[in-house]
Structure 1
């Protein structure tokens, strides 16, 4: 169950970063509230995951999944570039997260 909590926590980070981007475009209290809610829920689920997953592994996987998700959100919704070098390094982040899970 801890790994499911960790994935949910990563979504909190992904949508939190997306909310920041949307807030910067349309400064409204609703987007500000969304930032607080998404990051807050992400931290709650991260803390639940860290009951069973070591700190270093949980944090590395959480930030890795969050980074990959944020880049993909940027590419899909905000028309950011999707060059091959960028994709290569995303694969490296994913490989690192998988490696920590397998070896941890």
Structure 2
């Protein structure tokens, strides 16, 4: 259950960052509200996962999901620049997150 909570926390982090981008500096109400909701969900689910997982592992996976997800959605949805090196490095982040999950069990 802790791993599911951590995955939801990571996805909430992605939702929060994307909503933050869409809020245009908190000048748009709806995305601003979603930023707060996703952020709250993310922290709440992270706190649940920390009851059973080591803080270092959970934090690394949470930030990895948030980072990789935000970069990939930014590239796809917002047409942000991409090149082979960026994609390689994001792949390394994803492999690291999966590796931490496998090692931690």
Q: Pick the TM interval, shorter chain.
A: over 0.9
Alignment: residue pair count: 104
Unaligned runs of 5+ residues in structure 2 are: none
TM-score w.r.t. structure 1 length?
A: 0.93
Matched ranges for 1:1-104 at <5 A: 1-24=1-24, 27-104=27-104
How far residue 8 of structure 1 moved from its aligned partner, in angstroms, is: 0.5
Q: Which segments of structure 1 move beyond 4 Å, counting only runs of 4 or more?
A: none
- 1:26 CA drift (Å): 7.8
Aligned Cα root-mean-square deviation (Å): 1.4
Q: Deviation of residue 60 (structure 1)?
A: 0.1
Helix, strand or coil for the counterpart of 2:64? helix
When the two structures are superposed, what TM-score results if normalisation uses the length of structure 2? 0.92
